[in-house]
Amino acid sequence: MRDLMALTAQPQVISLAGGLPDMTVFPPEVMAKVTAQIAAEASARALQYGPTEGLDDVREAIAQVMAAEGMTAIEPDDILVTTGGQQVIDLVCRTLVDPGDVVIAEAPTYPGAVPCFGSFEADVVQIAMDADGMRVDELEETLDRLEREGRRPKFVYTIPTFHNPAGVTMSLPRRRRLVEVARERELLVLEDNPYGLLRFEGEPLPTLYSLDGGEFVIYLGTFSKILSAGIRVGWAVAPGPVFQKLNIGKQAADLCSSSLSQLFVATYFRSGLWAEQLERFKEVYRRRRDVMLGALEEFLGPHAEWTRPQGGLFLWATLPDYIDTTDLLARALESDVAFVPGRAAYLDGRGGSSMRLNFSGVAEDDIREGVRRIGRVVREQVELYGTLTGSAAAPAERDRPDPAPQESMADVVPLPRRAGGDRARGTR
Amino acid sequence: MSRIAVLKGGRSLERHVSLRSGQRVEDALRRLGHEVTGIDVGPGLVGRLRELAPDLAFIALHGREGEDGTVQELLELLGVPYTGSGPSACGQCWDKVQAKHLMRDHGIPTPDFHAFSEAAFKDLGAADALPAIEERLEFPIVVKPARGGSSLGVKFASSAAQVPGALIAAFSYDRKVLLERHVAGHDLAVSIVDGEALPVVEAVPNDEAFYDFEARYEIGRTTFVCPARLSDEDTARAQALALEAWSLFGCRGFARVDLMRDAQTGELTVLEVNAVPGLTDTSLLPQAADEAGLGFDDLVARIVELALPGVSA
């Protein structure tokens, strides 16, 4: 898969495989103004080391962002500034995980977390999701099973809002239950929330952190999707003892995050422009999502199912189970279009017929054209399969290579419901 | 000192491996004192070669662009000497169906197979012939794209129900595929430099029960043993067979021949010949050369010398 992914970055390829925010939406003149101001007012500070936990000015900006997501009781001292949100995942693993320890994640999970879990040799157990996010009932069953085996998970990793890659959002009852479960079992939860503020529609839901009050939830935030991915500033808010350990881990990892980047954030936030900029991002991404949903309906209509995210950057599409999206990518690349094969989001080989599509980083025309090309190669494969099996376009039940797990997962978002009439009651 | 252009990268599915091979070759050539220019192959290739007018093109380009003979043809046209085999040998090795037919016609044993184009299924009802093929080849059956490398799109089908899915996967990489009898046994690679076989490398899966073709390219799933765990007699037979294939295709410079040794019957068969084998730090040809006492720089120097007689470091 790595070999194939190396080709997705070629300039002629319409890549729906990226996870990029569109930084052309950020006005260059604002960037010029902010950097000039830093040079004029704080040059020496910007070029100097800073405290490991982060500069006070940026921690105030972070408290503002968290307040905007309904977490009003955060003090700047509760915040550990990190080098992007990714560093929080790394620090939490570094702090908590010994080789062989169980970490619980969603199925599918953030593809960028997979190598991180792998490098700490975590045994990742993945919990299925549906349109309401992680199946907390399945989580509880899994926790019971692990307890019987004498294994205690180190933490539960979740992206409750506008999930990457699944595009779904955890419902309020599930959020409440997850926080209860964490409390009952004294289990840490790492809430990864890069996209929460990128809501296009619907009512915002409380974060796990605010429901829990910060006792068992470690909160991960980032400026990557609301301001800039290139400045690499994220943060963690964690229960006291964990916070201390994360701080020590951060000191070992990189002493402190870039002072220049932190001052960029702080200076920019003082200008008061961020709320307006956030609206611009949302407006652009919402339109792109709509274009993608329309194109999917038009070009993949009968051959796939997909999630309808109310925000964020991604959606998750699932094809008939006889199509392996890793192989399909080779054929798609011939048509100069790319996506992330679903397998990248699993550690156990599942996800083979799904794909992650990004709508935030690609212009509307390219989204439409990209989806049209994907639709064409999928249709070719579906027709060929029909020819091979002597069936119509829809595969017969007997052709499933391994029907058992499919059926047990029949209500799960990432796995296809391909058999016969089931398609009619898809997730969309 | 010669001026050498290293051709690498390109747009094929093996771009990544090729960039690694190319980089390693460039480093070696520089150590050998040559003037080296790496070229990531793209639409500007001919212009770039004309402008550079190198003494030699070192082809570290895997996948379609480097192995189907196109680049070699172009270099012939431009009058630039190049490493490895010529257009005809490359073209024949690159298409596994063509290669297997040729081997079978010339008495070089290769596992039984049947090949089909996508059109055969769409327009000629080839699907109706599948049961007969399955009966002849017996499960598990290996399904492969006719052209392609690094095991991309190669699948096992262990029952009739799995054949359509495996075919769909293989057709993702090429419009022509082959169904091949699976040989259970030793997975061997014989590297050849200038018509001489190097020690045999064997790919040993770490977990036999779950072995698939991808495992061969994933670190930790396969161990490569050199020399292979074979009797002297089997080693000699494998090398002789590899040389026969090398001669049949008219290879030049260097190549790698992949073979299987049936665990039950001891029969050796040739799977394919790679006219532009990988030269990365985990590739098999450099491993074999190393076992023969030829370090990577020596190997690269030898390959250059073969392409440019009279030039050595």
CATH number at residue B175: 3.30.1490.20
Tokens 């047990």 belong to A408
Same domain? For B60 and B130 the reply is no
Q: Which domain holds residue B129?
A: 112-181
Please check the confidence at residue A392 and state whether its pLDDT lies above 90: no
The pLDDT value recorded for residue A408 is 33
The pLDDT value recorded for residue A404 is 35
Is B257 within the bounds of a domain? yes
Q: In chain A, which residue's Cα lies nearest the Cα of B156? A: A401
What are the backbone angles phi and psi of residue B287, rounded to the nearest 5°?
-60, -45
CATH of the domain at B74: 3.40.50.20
**Residue A233 pLDDT class (50, 70, 90 cuts):** very high
**Under an 8 A CB cutoff, do B168 and A327 touch?**
yes
The pLDDT value recorded for residue A411 is 40
Kindly state whether A398 is in contact with chain B, defined as any CB-CB distance less than 8 angstroms. Answer: yes
User: What is the maximum alpha-carbon separation in chain B?
Assistant: 61
The pLDDT value recorded for residue A406 is 34
Task: State how far residue B303 is from chain A, nearest Cα, in angstroms.
Answer: 26
Same domain? For A253 and A352 the reply is no
Same domain? For A216 and A86 the reply is yes
Please check the confidence at residue A251 and state whether its pLDDT lies above 60: yes
* Both structure tokens of A289: 């999502």
Same domain? For A334 and A242 the reply is no
Interface test with A, best of B121, B124, B155, B172 (most A CBs within 10 A): B172
Q: How many CA atoms lie within 13 A of B229 on its CB side?
A: 9
Size of interface A-B (CB pairs under 8 A): 73
**Under an 8 A CB cutoff, do B15 and A390 touch?**
no
Question: Do residues B71 and B61 make contact, with C-beta atoms less than 8 angstroms apart?
Answer: yes
pLDDT averaged over every residue in chain B: 91
**Under an 8 A CB cutoff, do A322 and B168 touch?**
yes
Phi-psi group of A263: left, alpha or beta (phi > 0 → left; psi -120 to 50 → alpha; rest → beta): alpha
How does pLDDT run across A3-49, given as a tens digit for each residue? 667 777 788 899 999 888 898 989 999 999 999 999 999 999 999 99
**Under an 8 A CB cutoff, do A389 and B17 touch?**
no
- Give the contacts of A112 (CB within 8 A, at least 6 positions apart): A19, A86, A89
Nearest to A401 among B16, B162, B170 (CB): B162
Closest alpha carbon to B69 in B47, B48, B91, B52: B91
Chain B residues with CB under 8 Å of A341 CB are none
Question: Do residues B198 and B289 make contact, with C-beta atoms less than 8 angstroms apart?
Answer: yes
- Give the contacts of B120 (CB within 8 A, at least 6 positions apart): B126
Task: State how far residue A109 is from chain B, nearest Cα, in angstroms.
Answer: 22
Please check the confidence at residue A75 and state whether its pLDDT lies above 60: yes
User: What is the maximum alpha-carbon separation in chain A?
Assistant: 73
Nearest to A387 among B11, B122, B150 (CB): B122
| Domain closes at, from A270, A302, A321 | A270
Same domain? For B269 and B247 the reply is yes
Nearest to A389 among B14, B164, B170 (CB): B164
Same domain? For A202 and A347 the reply is no
Please check the confidence at residue B218 and state whether its pLDDT lies above 80: no
Task: Give me the number of domains chain B comprises.
Answer: 3
Q: In chain A, which residue's Cα lies nearest the Cα of B155? A: A327
Same domain? For A104 and A143 the reply is yes
Is A292 within the bounds of a domain? yes
| Domain closes at, from A252, A270, A288 | A270
Same domain? For B120 and B176 the reply is yes
How does pLDDT run across A146-166, given as a tens digit for each residue? 999 999 999 999 999 999 999
| Domain closes at, from B181, B199, B222 | B181
| Domain closes at, from A238, A270, A302 | A270
The pLDDT value recorded for residue A427 is 34
Q: Which run of H or E residues covers position A180?
A: helix A172-185
User: What is the rounded average pLDDT of the residues B256-282?
Assistant: 95
Same domain? For B191 and B283 the reply is yes
Same domain? For A263 and A383 the reply is no
Closest alpha carbon to A358 in A381, A377, A334, A374: A374
Same domain? For B55 and B121 the reply is no
Is B298 within the bounds of a domain? no
The angle formed by the CA atoms of residues A168, A172 and A173, to the nearest 5 degrees, is 115
Distance CA(B148)–CA(B235), nearest Å, equals 27
Is B89 within the bounds of a domain? no
**Under an 8 A CB cutoff, do A328 and B14 touch?**
no
Distance CA(B302)–CA(B313), nearest Å, equals 9
User: What is the rounded average pLDDT of the residues B237-262?
Assistant: 97
* Both structure tokens of A252: 């070992």
User: What is the rounded average pLDDT of the residues A220-245?
Assistant: 95
Please check the confidence at residue A407 and state whether its pLDDT lies above 60: no
**Residue B14 pLDDT class (50, 70, 90 cuts):** confident
Q: DSSP 3-state assignment of A321? A: coil
Distance CA(B162)–CA(B81), nearest Å, equals 46
Of the two residues A102 and B11, the one the predictor is more confident about is: A102
Same domain? For A185 and A308 the reply is no
Alpha carbon separation from A247 to A92, A95, A152, A237, A251 (Å, rounded):
10, 10, 24, 11, 6
The pLDDT value recorded for residue B301 is 96
Please check the confidence at residue B79 and state whether its pLDDT lies above 90: yes
The pLDDT value recorded for residue B9 is 92
Question: Do residues B250 and B89 make contact, with C-beta atoms less than 8 angstroms apart?
Answer: yes
**Residue B216 pLDDT class (50, 70, 90 cuts):** low
Is A31 within the bounds of a domain? no
Same domain? For A297 and A207 the reply is no
* Interface list for A 180-219 with B (CB within 8 A): none
Same domain? For B73 and B117 the reply is no
Same domain? For A152 and A190 the reply is yes
Is B265 within the bounds of a domain? yes
Amino acid identity of residue B309, one-letter, is: P
CATH of the domain at A134: 3.40.640.10
Same domain? For A76 and A175 the reply is yes
The pLDDT value recorded for residue A25 is 87
Amino acid identity of residue B134, one-letter, is: E
Please check the confidence at residue A424 and state whether its pLDDT lies above 50: no
Closest alpha carbon to B203 in B136, B276, B158, B258: B258
Closest alpha carbon to A232 in A125, A346, A86, A130: A86
3-state secondary structure string across B175-201: CEEEEEECCCEEEEEEEEECCEECCCE
Task: State how far residue B168 is from chain A, nearest Cα, in angstroms.
Answer: 7
**Residue B153 pLDDT class (50, 70, 90 cuts):** confident
Task: Give me the number of domains chain A comprises.
Answer: 2
Q: In chain A, which residue's Cα lies nearest the Cα of B150? A: A3
Is A411 within the bounds of a domain? yes
Question: Do residues B201 and B175 make contact, with C-beta atoms less than 8 angstroms apart?
Answer: no
The pLDDT value recorded for residue B114 is 94
Chain B residues with CB under 8 Å of A2 CB are 16
Chain A residues with CB under 8 Å of B17 CB are 3
Please check the confidence at residue A292 and state whether its pLDDT lies above 90: yes
ipTM of the prediction: 0.83
Is the dihedral angle over the CA atoms A13, A16, A22, A25 positive or is it negative?
Answer: positive
Question: Do residues A167 and A309 make contact, with C-beta atoms less than 8 angstroms apart?
Answer: yes
Kindly state whether A331 is in contact with chain B, defined as any CB-CB distance less than 8 angstroms. Answer: yes
Same domain? For B216 and B274 the reply is yes
* Both structure tokens of A196: 């929460």
Same domain? For A352 and A375 the reply is yes
**Under an 8 A CB cutoff, do B152 and A6 touch?**
no
Chain B residues with CB under 8 Å of A390 CB are 127
Q: In chain B, which residue's Cα lies nearest the Cα of A1? A: B152
User: What is the rounded average pLDDT of the residues A99-110?
Assistant: 96
DSSP bridge pairs for A123: A102
Is A25 within the bounds of a domain? no
3-state secondary structure string across A53-94: CCCHHHHHHHHHHHHHCCCCCCCHHHEEEECHHHHHHHHHHH
Bond before A341 cis per omega within 30 degrees: no
Please check the confidence at residue A423 and state whether its pLDDT lies above 80: no
Question: Do residues A77 and A131 make contact, with C-beta atoms less than 8 angstroms apart?
Answer: no
**Residue A398 pLDDT class (50, 70, 90 cuts):** very low
The pLDDT value recorded for residue A399 is 38
The pLDDT value recorded for residue B206 is 77
**Under an 8 A CB cutoff, do A388 and B163 touch?**
yes
Same domain? For A361 and A240 the reply is no
The pLDDT value recorded for residue A396 is 38
The pLDDT value recorded for residue A3 is 66
How does pLDDT run across A333-386, given as a tens digit for each residue? 999 999 999 998 998 888 899 999 999 999 999 999 999 999 999 999 999 999
Distance CA(A21)–CA(A360), nearest Å, equals 6
Same domain? For B190 and B286 the reply is yes
E strands, chain B, in order: 3-8, 35-40, 56-59, 113-117, 141-145, 155-157, 176-181, 185-193, 196-197, 201-205, 222-225, 254-262, 268-274
Residues of B annotated as catalytic are 14, 150, 217, 256, 258, 272, 274, 278
Q: Are strands A314-318 and A217-222 parallel, antiparallel or unpaired?
A: unpaired
Interface test with B, best of A387, A397, A398 (most B CBs within 10 A): A387
Same domain? For B177 and B195 the reply is no
Same domain? For B188 and B286 the reply is yes
CATH of the domain at B278: 3.30.470.20
Q: For B2-41, b where at least 16 C-beta lie within 10 A, e where not — what string?
A: bebbbbbbbbbbbbbbbbbbbbbbbebbeebebebbbbbb
CATH of the domain at A285: 3.90.1150.10
What are the backbone angles phi and psi of residue A269, rounded to the nearest 5°?
-65, -30
Please check the confidence at residue B108 and state whether its pLDDT lies above 50: yes
Q: Which domain holds residue A367?
A: 2-19+277-418
Closest alpha carbon to A82 in A218, A278, A270: A218
The pLDDT value recorded for residue B70 is 93
The pLDDT value recorded for residue B204 is 87
Distance CA(A108)–CA(A129), nearest Å, equals 8
**Under an 8 A CB cutoff, do B164 and A328 touch?**
no
Same domain? For B147 and B222 the reply is no
Q: In chain B, which residue's Cα lies nearest the Cα of A2? A: B16
**Under an 8 A CB cutoff, do B172 and A330 touch?**
yes
**Residue A2 pLDDT class (50, 70, 90 cuts):** low
Bond before A111 cis per omega within 30 degrees: no
